[in-house]
Amino acid sequence: MAGLATSSTEMDLDRPNIDEYLTVESIREAPKKLHLRDLLDISPTLKEAAGAIVDDSFTRCFKSNPSEPWNWNIYLFPLWCLGVVIRYGILFPFRVIILVAGWIVFFAAFSLVHFLLGEHNKWKREIERKLVEMICSVFVASWTAVIKYHGPRPSMRPQQVFVANHTSMIDFIILEQMTAFAVIMQKHPGWVGFIQKIIVESLGCIWFNRTEAKDREIVARKLREHIQGVDNNPLLIFPEGTCVNNHYTVMFKKGAFELGCAVCPVAIKYNKIFVDAFWNSKKQSFTMHLVQLMTSWAVVCDVWYLEPQYIRPGETPIEFAERVQDMISVRAGLKKVPWDGYLKYFRPSPKLIERKQQIFAESVLQRLEEK
């Protein structure tokens, strides 16, 4: 319905199609005379509420599904114990050493280049890019990541953005090790924020703040500026806006799709047998998440670089976003869900309740006329 207008001052669901998903059960077929029981019978509304309490498709997207424990009998258990010893006692320290060594080299080289070479020295950017790719490879090695890339490698051209589904911050690292992307990211606190500031800045990143409403316009402008620049790194955007558990995809925000340039979809699917890469930011800090990855056997995933898409004539950015979401979901074997990922942080817009109320009120008034 065209009634849901987006305003930049509200946290709105800019998705009309969500109305199809919410059942409106109070529509009567033909207006009949109104009786007391029609007003007393609130059972359809109660049913919807109870249905939502019992199970809802939004919460399902963010559930970390624990895998079946396989160490349950007398033979498997000692094997598992041995595995734990190897993972925590041998692999983990080894990986930490690699990581620390990598960081030391990186910081040394990066500081040298950053402070010694001049501001606009063209070598500076090249070297910084290569260094970032290197540290990402170090990270990737520290999880023994087995990553299979499918499809042509992203090229550095203007007028293109890359979009990918989002499971954890490591998505960025996995993609970054192959190509130095610039990203648009939410600023994080702690040591992650520090790294973001120093290193990721050199790639040409754009910051946003979920909690700032006016932010959208500023960010849209920055995005447009970035893709014009010939020299800028290709831009990577995660249009879901939040981490999802790699079984579902939530609504792709239209921001990336209304820039008037090519959109190159990237699909990422993690193999859960080895580790569940979903970063449940409500349950774990990023540090704990990394430790969990480093004490598992491996991170196994597939990355598909899909064909660049352009907006079709007569297609709205929202429809374009949905089309690309379909492409990525099908490629990675994920289920599509129309909810906005930001509902994790904000309440839904009251406009949707108002729609239901309006339908019911009109039906009551109409039936009141019938005699």
Partner 1 sequence: MGNASSMLTQYDIEEVQEHCHYLFSQQEIVALYNRFCQLDRSAKGFISSDEFLSIPEFSLNPLSQRLLKMVDGLNFKVFVAFLSAFSPLATVPQKIELIFKVYDVDGKGRVTFKDLMEVLGDLTGSFMSEEQREIVLSQVLKEAGYSRDSPLLLEDFMKVLCKPGVTMEVEVPVD
Residues that bind partner 1 (CB under 8 A): 22, 34-59, 63, 282, 339, 343-344, 347-348, 352-354, 356-358, 360-362, 364-365, 368
Q: How far is the CB of 352 from partner 1 (least distance, A)?
A: 5
Choice between 124 and 355, CB closer to partner 1: 355
| Distance in Å, CB of 56 to partner 1, minimum | 5
What's the closest the beta carbon of residue 365 comes to partner 1, in angstroms?
7
Closer to partner 1 by Cβ: residue 11 or 109:
11
Minimum CB separation from partner 1 for residue 367, in Å?
9
Q: Nearer Cβ to partner 1, position 23 or 228?
A: 23
Give the residue with the Cβ less far from partner 1, 108 or 368. Answer: 368
Instruction: Provide the minimum distance between the beta carbon of 52 and partner 1 in the complex, in angstroms, as a whole number.
Output: 4
**Is the Cβ of residue 10 or residue 302 nearer to partner 1 in the bound state?**
10
Output 33 or 214, the one with its CB closest to partner 1. 33
CB of 350 to partner 1, least distance (A): 9
Report in angstroms how near the CB of residue 63 gets to partner 1 at its nearest. 7
3-state helix/strand/coil string of the chain = CCCCCCCCCCCCCCCCCHHHHCCCCCCCCCCCCCCHHHHHCCHHHHHHHHHHHHCCHHHHCCCCCCCCCCCCCCCHHHHHHHHHHHHHHHHHHHHHHHHHHHHHHHHHHHHHHHHHCCCCCHHHHHHHHHHHHHHHHHHHHHCCEEEEEECCCCCCCCCEEEEECCCCCHHHHHHHCCCCCEEEEECCCHHHHHHHHHCHHHHCCEEECCCCCCHHHHHHHHHHHHHHCCCCCCEEECCCCCCCCCCEECCCCHHHHCCCCEEEEEEEEEECCCCCCCCCCCCCCHHHHHHHHHCCCCEEEEEEECCCECCCCCCCHHHHHHHHHHHHHHHHCCEECCCCHHHHCCCCCCHHHHHHHHHHHHHHHHHHHCC
> What CA–CA distance (Å, rounded) separates 292 from 91?
12
Nearer to partner 1, 57 or 179 (CB): 57
